Every structure is written in structure tokens, then in C-alpha cells.
Amino acid sequence: DPTLHLDLNGLDDETRDPAIFYMEETQILPSSPNADLPRRRAVVDVFKLHSRPGASKVLYLDFDGHVLTGTAWNDATHPTINAPPCDWDGAPNSFSTTEQSYIQEIWARVAEDYAPFDVDVTTEYVGGNEDFLLRSSSSDLQYGLRVLISPGIGSIWCSCGGLSYVGIYGAVGSYYQPSLVFPDMLSNGVKYIAEAASHEAGHAFGLSHDGTATVGYYTGQGSGETGWAPIMGVGYYQSLVQWSKGEYSGANNLEDDLAIIAARVAYRPDDAPDTPAAAAAQPLPPGAALSAAGVIDHPGDVDVFAFLAAAGPVSASATPAPPSPNLDLLLELLDPAGAVLASANPVGALAAALAFTLPAPGTYFLRVSAVGAGSPTVTGYSAYGSLGQYTLAATVPPPLVPGTTEAPPGSPTTTAASPRTTTAAAPKTTTAAPPSTTAARKGRKRSDSESHQASAAATGTAGASGAGGYVAAAAGGIGGASVLLAGLAAALRRRRQAGREAEAWAGARAEEGAAGLLGG
């Protein structure tokens, strides 16, 4: 691989071994790659984005400049490298709202690539110092990698889109950091910058290039929403870019990307039950509109959600996370015994939606899993790299209160909101500070030593409705007022009793569903 280089500097230092790094090939890219992006205002503080706050391992996307000294990137000619902030609009001392939206989208794309792992992809310089990144010793379990995204410095080394040393994530010290991405060498394209950031971080985790016998980088196969490419090849030209184990025709690299990354940062803990029996013990809150969110976090992961429903029509949809999903979804509806009633996995699309008429009241299940498409040796891909975040929404006939024809008190009557499809907002685990201006942010070019710094009305209405007969009686005579009051009180007592019965009934149905599945 002509892009692989040996760093000989370590040979003269007894404390370091020789290291290798990748110097990426130049790619021909469109000159206006962001023309089709929606012009939107970032809805959060883009310098406080977190994909998994609290995780002990970090990927820090650094957009606002950095000073490199004492690293493997420095030499006698460049003892200090002042890396400027990202700049899309020619105003280097501030980030416009459009630039902030670009940063948010780049972060969301990289966060989706690393969503299966217990690592926090963040734009925040936590604590105002390097402690959250620096691994001080082998016993230090909290550390990370800086991915420096900076224009104007790439020509020091190459005319390429990025550079990274290999296998240095988790190394003690920071000599071989950061991984570098040069946006000006990538036409300043949001997608290209994000793909390069994930790719260079992949090298830091120990990954090599995915190519063929004739090309160093595989550019992918297929087209449209399911056009596929490997992250460690070139993901600039396809929509679905995933981790790979070399299943495409002519692959020259059969390494297991997921296993190599997981050896340095673990898979994130599973966030949903895998079986109907487990899901039945924790059903979604009863009602007409249901929603949930989750992550398919490792190959073979399945998420199952239980819900209580009456007989009648049900519709459900599962949607992968925008703006750059890695997940191709299969959605299934299961009956109380766990048998499949309906399923959806449309050709050429990543989201899935289904509709079905439930034959009887009971505990039903929605099962979400990942799939591939076609043949990975032709134009398709396997389920191997089909991982990431999704949202689930469903409209169901709410369960009935025993002995009545009514839904449980408080059941929603509106349909579920459509899953997000275009927003680049943070995933469900993001913790974002309130919107704030960042006009002076670019001017703060820090060095390593610098600090970055209605119930009452509803009850009355329900009571009046339940006591309609008593209102009529009141209109008929002088004694109607006392009859009305007595009727209202009785109606309210019946409503409270119905609520208690509904809760007991829902619990009993969940227990019956779990017992039936466990017994089967």
C-alpha cells in the first residue's frame, strides 16, 4: 500500500517503537459539495455535543484550532504548527450559523459510525485541558483521541485529505496524536470531512485500508440509498458507508473492523430486550401512540418491544438515524406467542414500515433487527456493518378497560409523530447546552497550555359527560340540582374505579404474556 509509511523518528528514542502512518491519496471531489445541504440553524451549542456522555473513552472532533508541539508531526523545520480553525465562509474569527450547522452534521455522521461502541464522540474540550484525552499510564482507563480538523496545514506533509498513525488509540502519552483531517483538501464538503474523520480515527484504532489488488481504496458498489462502501475505503461517493470485513469481490483486506475496534473500546451495553419473553415484562406504556428509540449495537443484536392492544388496525415504522445512517432495518410484528404476523424490509430503502389488523386483544411485540441487501460480492452488502441508531413509532388500538368499551383513562387519541428523517440534531443520548453564540470562538486559538474555556377542566368535562342524564334531570324540576350533584359524584367515583381496574388489567395482561412465553 503506497499510502503506508514508516516513521523512523522513533528508532532514535529508546522509549518509543517505530510507528507507521497512512498518508491518504488525493481524491477528485466536487467543488461545491454543500450546495444541496439544507440551510438551517444549529439547534444546540455545537461545541458541547456528546454522543455518549459519561463514557470513559472519547473521540474529540476539534474544529476550533490547535497548536502542535512535541508530537510526531513536528520536526526541525516545523517545531510548532499553528493549526487554524475550520472556515467555510472566509471569516476565520467567527462561526456563522451555517458553519455551526455544518459542524453539527459532521459530528452526527461520525457519531453514527461509532454508535455501536462505548465511546463518546464529542466536540467539547472537556475541562479546558488535555486530561480527558491524555492517557497518563497503563492503569489510566479514561482517555481519548483528538481528530484535528484544520485547513491550511496539510501541505506540510501531502496534498491529501488526512493523516493518522496506526494503532495508537489508548497509547500512553500523546506523542502520536492527533489524527489529522484537512477540509480544504476535501472541497470543504461536510460529508467528505465526516468520512475522513471516521476513516482517520479508524487507523488510530488499528485499521488498515480496504482496497483491491488494483486500487488502494475501494469506492463501493450499488447506488441510491443502499449504495455501499467501506469506511476504510472511500466513502465519499456512496450513501451507505459501513465497517467491513472484506466481503466485497476482490477485497485485499479481510480484517474484522468491528473486532479490532472493540478490542480497544468495548461495544456499548445492549439497550433493549432481545426476546418477547423479556420484553413482556416491561411493555411500552399503554395507549394509541407508541414510540421508542434504540441502537443495534453489535452483529446479531435484536431489540423487542411489547405493547398491549385491543383488536384493530396497527401501523408501525422504524427509521435509522439521519443524516447518514449505517443501519438497514427489518421490522416485524409478533403475536402473543411470538409468531410473526407481518414484516417489512423494503428493497432499496433503509427504513421499514408495516400495517396489520390485530385479530384480538392481547400483548403483541415489535421486533427491530438489522439486515443486508443482495449479494456483497455483486452490488449488495451483508448485515455485518448494519449497525446504529433508530427510532420506532406505532399507532395501535389501545387496550380496553375490562367491562367497558372504553380505552384506559389518559390514553392518547392522536397518532404517533413521524420519525425524524432530515434533522441533523443530536441522537437520543446527546446532552447539549442551551443555544449560545460562538462569534468569538475562532479567535480563541488555544495552545496546549490554554484553557478552552389543564387537569381540572378535563375532570369537569369528563364528569359532566358521564352525568349527562343527571343534567337532563336537573332541567326537569326544582330537585334537579341535588340529583345533579349526586350524579356527578357517582360518575367521578366510577371513573376512578375504572382507572384502578385499567391498571390492574394491564399488569395482569403483561404477566400472562410473560408466563405464556416462558411456558412455551
pLDDT at 400: 82
Give residue 496's pLDDT band: very low, low, confident or very high (50, 70, 90). low
- Annotation: CATH topology of 276-395: Jelly Rolls (2.60.120)
Question: Grid coordinates representing 70?
Answer: 512535541
**Tell me, what DSSP letter sits at residue 422?**
S
* From 59-68, 406-415, 420-429, the region with the lowest mean pLDDT: 420-429
pLDDT at 388: 98
The side-by-side arrangement of strands in the sheet containing 120-122 is 4-7, 19-23, 162-165, 179-181, 143-149, 57-62, 120-122
Give residue 169's pLDDT band: very low, low, confident or very high (50, 70, 90). very high
* Residue 226 to residue 191: CA distance in whole angstroms: 16
The residue extents of the domains of the chain are 4-24+44-208, 212-252, 276-395, 455-519
* Residue 169 to residue 289: CA distance in whole angstroms: 44
Question: What pTM does this model have?
Answer: 0.76
* Residue 56 to residue 214: CA distance in whole angstroms: 40
pLDDT at 465: 38
Give pLDDT tens digits for 441-477.
454 433 333 333 333 333 333 333 333 333 333 333 3
Give pLDDT tens digits for 318-329.
999 999 999 999
Terminal CA-to-CA distance of the chain, rounded, Å? 55
Cα 153 from chain centre: 31
Give pLDDT tens digits for 251-274.
999 999 999 999 999 999 999 999
Percent with pLDDT over 90 in the chain: 67
Contact 418, 409 (CB under 8 A): no
- Exposure b/e, 52-76, CB count within 10 A at least 16 = b: beebebbbbbbbbbbebeebbbbee
Contact 69, 130 (CB under 8 A): no
Evaluate if residue 24 carries a pLDDT over 70.
no
User: Comparing C-alpha atoms, which of 51, 44, 49, 50 is closest to residue 297?
Assistant: 51
Sign of the Cα pseudo-torsion (381, 384, 388, 393, in order): positive
Evaluate if residue 282 carries a pLDDT over 80.
yes
Give pLDDT tens digits for 355-402.
999 999 999 999 999 999 999 999 999 999 999 999 999 999 999 876
Q: Which residue has the higher pLDDT, 488 or 266?
A: 266
* From 20-29, 355-364, 430-439, 507-516, the region with the lowest mean pLDDT: 430-439
Cβ burial of 316 (10 Å; 0-12, 13-18, 19+) is buried
pLDDT at 437: 37
Contact 37, 48 (CB under 8 A): no
Q: Which residue has the higher pLDDT, 281 or 503?
A: 281
Evaluate if residue 431 carries a pLDDT over 70.
no
Q: What value does the mean pLDDT take over residues 172-182?
A: 97
H or E element at residue 7: strand 4-7
* Residue 317 to residue 306: CA distance in whole angstroms: 15
Evaluate if residue 50 carries a pLDDT over 90.
yes
The side-by-side arrangement of strands in the sheet containing 352-358 is 289-296, 388-395, 312-320, 352-358
pLDDT at 406: 61
How many CB atoms are located within 10 Å of the residue 457 CB? 8
Alpha helices by DSSP H, listed for 5-96, are: none
pLDDT at 186: 96
Give pLDDT tens digits for 128-140.
899 999 999 999 9
Give residue 37's pLDDT band: very low, low, confident or very high (50, 70, 90). low
Q: Say which residue the cell 411493555 belongs to.
A: 283
User: Three-state DSSP class for 518?
Assistant: helix
Give residue 36's pLDDT band: very low, low, confident or very high (50, 70, 90). low
Evaluate if residue 424 carries a pLDDT over 60.
no
